[in-house]
Amino acid sequence: MTVRVRYAPSPTGHIHIGNARSALFNYLFARHNNGTMILRLDDTDRKRSTDEAIQSMIEDIKWLGIDWDEGYLKGGPYGPYRQTERMDIYDRYIDILLKEEKAYELYYSEEEIKEIRNEYVKQNKKFSYRYLKETETEERRRAFKENNKGLLPAVVFKVEANKEIVVNDLVRGNVKFNSSEFSDFVIRRTNGIPVYNYATVIDDALMKITHIIRAEEHLSNTPKQLFIYDALNFPHPLFAHVSLILAPDRSKLSKRHGATSVGQYRDMGYLPEALFNYLALLGWSPKDNREFFTKEELISLFTLENVNKAPAVFDINKLTWMNHHYIENLSSGEIIKRAELIGIDFSKKTKEWWVELIDVAKEHLNTLKDIEKIAAPFFEELTFESDVLDELKTYQPVELLKKFKENIASLTEWSMQNTLKTIRQTGKELKIKGRNLYYPLRLAITGSRAGLEIHEFIYFIGKEDTIKRLDKAIKELMKDA
């Protein structure tokens, strides 16, 4: 069997983590099996499927590292690959279903159906499209045509009674349903737009999709789709319904748990390699303890047999840890190049200065955005929060600061190694060492308790600014003396 899979999003906005994971699994499965991946746009929601949303989705997929072989923007033998361009195809198979009496037209507007359904609920009665059709009169059909100009009768699929349906699921095994659990359902609305469960079957069948890999929330839709496969004598594809992605508290992943779209993670400074690697491990396991994989390794190892049934938990802390690993393995020049793409400004210093800074700051970078946090103190006026100043005073550091200022001012060759030597020299002269030496200097020169090593910080701000900061700290300390 030649493997053909598809990723068929509704392009109504950014690609969220769940959709991205589905796209990734399809991509890995296709590449592992030397198959074909198709990108199809399920864009029948015409109000929300804008050109901007489509462009955003394409950018997100490409940034993540997912490519496709056939479909939107690439063409292929089974196009068009946008549902809005396939309406005549859907209508053709609607006509077949109507002709073979496997579906029927219903002359009620959506508003009328809603009112009738609500009334049934009030009376605790079961709603039935079939009953409406059986009691439909010629007068009703005439009134519909007169009062609903531009609308078509809805088309309803007729569910065969007491038929067993088996979903051949490569993750969950055979899942059985009985058609008695389902009632007739609309497959084309009065505005002429087909519903998802109908259009996706026509598309998947005609595009010769062999495997449908998607989230388990679609499993309940699958029997309806198989009814249509059978009614049109289409062969069944194989299914793989992968587990949901949950938040760490086991609730449904949502915006309150942080960013949920691929684009947001890109803008927050995560690398595509890290997100690609992390998403591959959400619900899939290589059956060993490895955490880091190249794209090629994931393609080589990925099989549906190793996809887990249990829900996957999205842990932002683990993704951040993984992102740190990938950043550390990039050159500083490449880090700068990537950071510029998300709008980080490197214009205030030379490229050489930035490369040196990132060389020593890599171990502190969890995301590309952390560059801004680390660099900010170099471009801001030194200020002392009251608690920091109070803590600095406990060391009674004026003599230390004055001596260090004298030594740093006499330094002739400016290097990181020499700034460290100067600190140590000052400590020896005053017989101060360890925390009592380094920490007061940090508080006095940076105004902060954490950050780069103090000798590194001094090197990057330069001699002149170091002296200015020491003068300011001494002045603050001498106010109450």
* C-alpha to C-alpha distances, 414 to 356, 358, 421, 445, 464, nearest whole angstrom: 14, 18, 11, 17, 11
Cα 416 to Cα 406, 425, 462: the distances in Å are: 18, 14, 10
Report the DSSP beta bridge partners of residue 105.
Answer: 155
Tell me the C-alpha distance between 78 and 270, whole Å. Answer: 36
Bridge partners of residue 4, in order along the sequence: 36
Are 177 and 164 in contact by the 8 Å Cβ rule? The answer is: yes
Q: How far apart are CA 202 and CA 205, in angstroms?
A: 5
Phi and psi of 427, rounded to 5°?
-60, -40
**Residue the block writes with tokens 């190694």:** 417
Residue positions counted in the chain: 481
Phi, psi values for residue 395, rounded to 5°: -90, -5
Q: Does the CA dihedral 223-228-232-238 come out positive or negative?
A: negative
**Are 86 and 80 a contacting pair, CB within 8 Å?**
yes
Q: Out of 74, 125, 255, 337, pick the active-site residue.
A: 255
**Integer Cα distance of 94 and 139 in angstroms:** 24
The two structure tokens encoding residue 8: 């068929």
Q: Residues 188-191: contacts with CB within 8 Å, 24+ apart?
A: 188/90, 188/94, 188/152, 188/154, 188/155, 189/110, 189/154, 190/109, 190/110, 190/148, 190/151, 190/152, 190/153, 190/154, 191/151, 191/152
H-state helical runs in 38-109: 51-64, 87-99
Instruction: Determine whether 255 is an active site residue.
Output: yes
Coil, strand, or helix at residue 330? coil
- Specify the DSSP element, H or E, that contains 313: strand 312-313
Q: How many Å apart are CA 328 and CA 266, to the nearest integer?
A: 17
Structure tokens at 20: 């991205």
Q: What are phi and psi of 76, to 5 degrees?
A: 150, 175
Question: Which residues does residue 156 pair with via DSSP β-bridges, in sequence order?
Answer: 104, 186
| Tokens encoding 330 | 């990039």
**Contact call for residues 113 and 153 (beta carbons, < 8 A):** no
- Spell out the residues 6+ positions from residue 47 whose beta carbon is closer than 8 angstroms to its own: none
Q: How far apart are CA 253 and CA 140, in angstroms?
A: 46
* Token duo for residue 292: 């880091």
Q: What is the distance between the alpha carbons of residues 136 and 397, in angstroms, rounded to a whole number?
A: 94
Tell me which residues are annotated as active site. Answer: 255
